[in-house]
Amino acid sequence: MSTLLEKHIVELLQDRDEKAISLLYDNYGDTLYGVAYKVVKDENLAQDVVQESFIKIWKKSDSYDATKAKLFTWLFRITRNTAIDKLRSVNTKADKEIQIDVSDVYNLGERGIMPELMDVKENLDKIESKYKIVLEALFFEGMTQQEASDELDIPLGTIKSRLKIGLRELRKIYGTSMVLAIAISVL
């Protein structure tokens, strides 16, 4: 792809001009479909991924920074992450079978509620805000590490470090086994 066309597409995206989506689809659609298909290995899912990716691209168009990555790299990452999220979602739904004859809906008990975890949000106020923000994004807002990186405009490596340190700080409050339970319960 020519650099001029790429610059033109970026300008259109930043101007929120709908022609940008057409140009993106015409010039990158097949390649992004290939990226999605390689991850999900299903034609229908890959098509869904590409559609969702273009929606994300449109919504996040103002976050593209040509100094950080080429346009294709940015598009590739969004599509690949969307495909991974889609695959996780499909696998999670497939794993959750409904068993009508065996139900513990009314039998939660104390273990099901885990009262010791009910004050986690309050205890997050006891740790530094830079760790708190990352933990909230990952655990309470359900973001992936990459999504948190994009949303918070923090490098992915920093997100991972702050997650590790944040969990270490919570371990000081709750103890080792409790932090493991927190991580498992929200993941």
pLDDT tens, residue order, the chain (187 aa): 568 888 899 899 888 888 988 899 999 999 999 999 999 999 999 999 999 999 999 998 888 888 888 999 999 999 999 999 998 888 776 655 555 555 444 444 444 445 445 566 677 778 888 988 888 888 777 788 898 898 889 999 999 999 888 888 877 876 665 555 555 544 4
**pTM for the full predicted model:** 0.50
The confidence score (pLDDT) of residue 109 equals 44
pLDDT at position 50 is 94
Rounded alpha-carbon distances, angstroms, from residue 58 to 52, 65, 132, 165 = 10, 14, 29, 34
Give 29's DSSP letter: H
User: Of 122, 114, 154, which Cα lies nearest the Cα of 138?
Assistant: 154
Q: Do residues 130 and 162 lie in contact, with contact meaning Cβ atoms separated by under 8 Å? A: yes
Instruction: Please tell me what DSSP assigns to residue 101.
Output: S
What is the DSSP-derived secondary structure letter of residue 66? Answer: T
pLDDT of residue 107: 45
pLDDT of 180 reads 59
CB 159 within 8 A of CB 151: no
